[in-house]
A and B are shown apart, each in its own frame.
Chain A
C-alpha cells in the first residue's frame, strides 16, 4: 500500500483532532452555543452541563477525586503559569523556595525566572544522562523554605519519564506541594494524581487528539487543599481560579479526547511502543553511528530521539521533508544554541546538532514507519557522502583533535 505524503511524525508538538472528538464538539459551535456562565436560561444550562460532563471525564482520566479539582485554561502554558505563580503568590510568606529541573519545558523555566525577579529562590536540579531526576536529589534540595516542587511527567524532546511516584512520596512526607507538567504523558503512560501524590497537574487537549486552545490545571482540594492566587481577573469563573468565558466546544472536545484515552490509551501505547521499536530497529540495523537520546525503557511510547552522527539535524529534516519531525539542532531555533535538554544530558553539541525527534501517534501506520525508515537510511547515506566530518571519520581522524574555527 502506498503511503500518503507528507507523513506527520511530530506528535509531541501537537496531534490532529480525532474525528470522534470533532463530531462531539460541533453542536457546541452552532445550536448549543450558550455561555456556560449563563445561569438563567436553557442555553446556558446546556453549555454548563456539557462542561461539567467534560470535567468528570478529565478528572477520571487523571484519577482526581472530584471534578471540582479541574480548572479549565487556554492550554498547558497557562496552566503552568497559574500553578507556579498562583502557588508562589499564595504561599510566599510561608517560604520562597521552588524546586524544578533543568529539562523542564520553557513554560516552567521562564515562569521560574520571572518568579526569581519577584524574590523566589529556585533550585534547578540536574538530570542523569538519560534525562531522569534522582528523587534523592529532590529530597536533599528541600529546605524549610520550600513550598513547591515542579517536575514534568515526561519530557517533550527525549520522552524520558521521571520517577514521579517516588518524588510524590517525598514531597508528601515533607509537606511540600508537588506540581507536574503532565502534558506529554497523560493518557499514554501511568498517571494518577492520588497514587502519585500530585497536588497540581498541567494538561492540554491538543497533545491527546483534542483541539488546541484548551487545557486544564488539576488543583487538589483535599489533603492538602491547595490554594492559588488567580492570575486572570474578571468574572470569577472556575471557582475564582481563572476568569474568562469558558471555551465550551473546546472543553467538550477535551472531555471526549480524555474519554477515548481512558478506553483506548493503554492499547494504543502498546501499539505505538511496538511501532517506535520497529522504527528504531530498522534505522539502527542499517545505519552506523546512531545514538539514542533519552532513556531506553522509561520513555514515552511514541518517542524516538536519535542522533545521526556527522549529519546536521536541519539538513536532515530538509532531506526528509515529506516527513514532519523535529530536531534539537540550533538551526531550528532563532538562537544558535542546540537543544538545552540534550545539553543537560551531557550529549555533546555535535550530537545535539545531529538529533532528530520522531513522535509517533494514533494515526501513524506500520507502512509509514517502514517507508520513513527506508527514507532516513537513504538520506543519511546521501548526507554523509556530503559531510566532511564523515570523510574525516572514515579516514580515522579524531574530530576532537582538530582545531576548529568557531564562528
Chain B
C-alpha cells in the first residue's frame, strides 16, 4: 500500500476515533482514544505514524474544544517528545515496563494539558483554566489507569499477533 493511501486511511481512522470519543455515550469520558492510538503506534515501532497521529489527532480534538486551538495538539506532541526520550533512554521490552511507561505517558499528557491551559491563561489568550481540586486528582488517577490499561492491552495483543506471524 502506498504511503498516501496509508495516510488517508489513518486520517479517516483518527476522524472516526474522534467522532466516537465525542459522541458515543457509552465510552468512559476519561478515555482518550487519540492519545491511546498515538502511544500504541509509538510502542509498536511506527514512530513516524505516531507523530502524524499526534498532529492530526490534536487538530481534530482542538476543533471540538472550548479551549484555545492548539492545546491538545501541543499537549500530544510534547507528550510524545518526552515519551520518545524515555523510550530510547531505557530499553523497554517487558510487559511491566510497557505498563509503567503507559502510566507515565498518561501522566505526562495530563501535565502538558495543565501546563498549556495555565500558560494560555497567564498570557491572556484564554479564559479557561483547569481547577486543581479533589475531583481533578481523582480524575487524573482514573485517566492514567484507564488509558495505560488500554495501551498495555492493545500493545501486548499487537505484539503477540506480530510474534505469531513471525
> Real complex partners, A and B?
no
Interface residues of A (CB under 8 A from B): none
Which B residues form the contact surface with A (CB < 8 A)?
A: none
